[in-house]
Structure 1
Amino acid sequence: MQACEDKISPKCAFELEEAATNILAAADALKDGVAACKAEIKGVCGNIKPGGGRIASCLLENKSTASTGCAEAIAKVESLASEKDI
């Protein structure tokens, strides 16, 4: 991409920048969510095999009993996912 940067249309360049920004925001929200939900991941979801979104599903299924910080982090990730179709 960088080698052909001068051939990328302004619209395409804008879309790429927006996509990169959305990915970084999602990654930050996920990282914050893991930190905020550490107790829930170890506790209620501790027996869940990692991978395939199984721990995320467990957190979503149990968000009504999650700590305030974890529930807020889950809501933020859900909001980003619905806004940006991540």
Structure 2
Amino acid sequence: MIKYVVAGMMVLGLASLAQANEGGACAKDRETLCAGVEHGGGKIAKCMKENQDKLSSECKAHMEKAKEAMKDMKEACHDDVEKFCGDVKPGKGRIMKCMKEHKEELSAACKEEIASAKEMRKKRK
């Protein structure tokens, strides 16, 4: 069960990284390849993944960097997710909400990875 929870957390993280409001390494690719796709529910991230062979090299590099950041976050936060949110049903952002509710109690390593991911998102905009 916890593997699915952590996987869900990663998917949510990648989806948010793939959906910058404006600008960023993948903005043109999103506009071109996913123009008609409705926002929400990871639909943009899914579209980007389905079109990954058509992405610009800049966007591919950014997505690879984001994927690596999510892997690091998964590793750093695994025990925290299990400890604080192991009984939370995955989906609709429930795991992320749970993690936010426990942000003061998270391990230092998890907090650091979350901060790094936030910093990466800021740089995209």
The verdict on a shared fold, with TM-score over 0.5 as the criterion, is yes
Q: 1:23 to 1:55 in 2, by over 3 A?
A: same
- Percent identity reads 32
Pairing partner for 1:39 from 79, 86, 95: 79
In the other structure, the counterpart of 1:62 is 102
Aligned length: 72
Gaps of 5+ in 1: 1-11
Contact 1:37 1:69 in 2 (8 A): yes
Cα distance, 1:54 vs. partner?
Answer: 2.5
Structure showing greater relative contact order (alpha-carbon pairs closer than 8 Å, 6 or more residues apart):
2
Gaps of 5+ in 2: 1-27, 29-54
Pairing partner for 1:28 from 68, 92, 95: 68
Cα distance, 1:51 vs. partner?
Answer: 2.6
Output the CA distance in 1 between the equivalents of 2:92 and 2:63: 19
Normalised by the size of structure 2, how large is the TM-score?
0.51
Specify the structure having the higher radius of gyration (Cα).
1
TM-align CA RMSD: 2.0
Residues 1:84 and 2:124 are matched in the alignment: yes
Helix, strand or coil at the partner of 1:44: helix
Greater fraction helix: 1
Normalised by the size of structure 1, how large is the TM-score?
0.70
